[in-house]
Amino acid sequence: MSEERTAPLRFAVLQLSGCAGCEVSLLNASEWVDKHRLLYMPLVISAYDIPEVDILLVSGGIRTDDDLYNLRRAVSRAKQVIAVGTCAISGGVANLGDRDEVRALFMAQAERRHLPRLLPKCRPVDAVVNVDLYLPGCPPTPELFMAALFRPPDFKVGRIVCAECGRKKLKDMRPKHLRGIEHGQVLSDICLVNQGYLCVGTSVRGGCRALCTRPGHPCVGCRGPSDALIEGSSAAWFSTISRVFASMTDIPPEEIDAALRSPQLSLFLFQFSDYAGGDRPPRPKEKVL
Ligand code: SF4
Ligand code: SF4
């Protein structure tokens, strides 16, 4: 990461099609209040137009013509652009909804006035504008927001979630089937994979301080792939996770494969690779926090 920023910053938050979870996470951080100036964020500040800023945070995917217009306008007034969260990087929930029945539902309401026009496909922010930094997470934690905005020198991201988790991996505890999180007691201190839970923290980038796994919820991969996988395909990510389960468990590979393809997991396991799609170059790992 580059040098810490100490001078007051002017920053703005542009929300495209998403759920506003990223904005709520930013509001849960208080370090920037009184030190830096938030000039635009429709969720909390009424402002007619997007001002000139040092940093523009963009959340959400490009799903409507309003999204496209607002993004282009905001970026032309920003010195630096940070794509924040799964939706800005990979489409997220708006991309999962990129299906015929959703389009039909939307069109059925076309008599409502002032609906923005749906674009043919949901696209990530960097399909349209240059992005200086990617901040993956669903949502990124308040600490990650602060690190992206102000670059504190002591901030370090664990290579993978396991490095921040602290649960022990055991050689002699090999489950035969996956367990749903609602079944049974989760043992403290022992790796969730050993307990039969589908935790993908072995190949997911750290930085979230293992927010989910420490209290006992398997990691679903919202921080995206680790550096080793970020410029590869999602197939490489799938097979890395499968290899971990083959070495630590006796769970049939087809059971793991089916679970990884569930909407909950595939939303995140496609980050940075397939969604960028076709002839687009991979996103450089140096640009990912
Ligand atoms: S519980 Fe998940 S994140 Fe923690 S050590 Fe095991 S695989 Fe890694
Ligand atoms: S533990 Fe996994 S799912 Fe939870 S915040 Fe971290 S990366 Fe996201």
CATH number at residue 110: 3.40.50.700
How far apart CA 47 and CA 40 sit, in angstroms, is 6
Whether residue 195 is found in the same domain as residue 137:
no
Residue 120 confidence class, pLDDT cut points 50, 70, 90:
confident
pLDDT tens, residue by residue, 147-169: 999 888 889 999 999 999 999 99
Residue 144 is given by DSSP the state H
Task: Give percent of the chain above pLDDT 90.
Answer: 60
Q: Is residue 2 part of a domain?
A: no
Q: Is residue 96 part of a domain?
A: yes
Q: Is residue 275 part of a domain?
A: no
Instruction: Give the ligand 1 atom nearest the CA of 204.
Output: 3
CA–centroid distance, residue 83 to ligand 1 (Å) = 27
Task: Give percent of the chain above pLDDT 70.
Answer: 88
Whether residue 42 is found in the same domain as residue 141:
yes
Residue 261 confidence class, pLDDT cut points 50, 70, 90:
confident
Whether residue 131 is found in the same domain as residue 182:
no
Q: Is residue 260 part of a domain?
A: yes
DSSP secondary structure string, 71-105? HHHHHTTEEEEEEEHHHHHH-HHHHHT-SHHHHHH
Q: Is residue 15 part of a domain?
A: yes
Whether residue 181 is found in the same domain as residue 230:
yes
Number of domains in the chain: 2
Whether residue 39 is found in the same domain as residue 84:
yes
Last residue of a domain, one of 154, 171, 195: 154
CA–centroid distance, residue 50 to ligand 1 (Å) = 42
Whether residue 132 is found in the same domain as residue 190:
no
- Residue-number span of the structural domain to which 17 is assigned: 10-154
Whether residue 17 is found in the same domain as residue 138:
yes
Whether residue 106 is found in the same domain as residue 211:
no
Higher pLDDT, 23 or 103: 23
Q: Is the pLDDT of residue 276 over 60?
A: no
Residue nearest to atom 5 of ligand 1 (CA): 162
Distance of CA 153 to the CA centre of its chain: 23
pLDDT of residue 235: 87
Name the token pair of 77.
């007034």
Last residue of a domain, one of 132, 154, 176: 154
Name the token pair of 46.
């009424």
H or E stretch covering 58: strand 53-59
Whether residue 170 is found in the same domain as residue 264:
yes
Does residue 110 contact residue 116 with C-beta atoms inside 8 Å?
A: no
Whether residue 24 is found in the same domain as residue 129:
yes
Can you name the residues that pair with 57 across neighbouring β-strands?
13, 82
Whether residue 73 is found in the same domain as residue 98:
yes
Last residue of a domain, one of 86, 120, 154: 154
pLDDT tens, residue by residue, 167-219: 999 999 999 999 976 667 899 999 999 999 999 999 999 999 999 999 999 99
Which residues contact ligand 2 via a Cβ below 6 A? Answer: 161, 201, 204, 208, 210-213, 219-223
Report how far apart, in Å, the C-alpha atoms of 265 and of each of 112, 134, 187, 269 are. Answer: 34, 20, 23, 6
Whether residue 179 is found in the same domain as residue 251:
yes
Q: Is residue 183 part of a domain?
A: yes
Which residues contact ligand 1 via a Cβ below 6 A? Answer: 161-162, 165, 167, 169, 191-193, 199, 201-202, 210, 213, 219
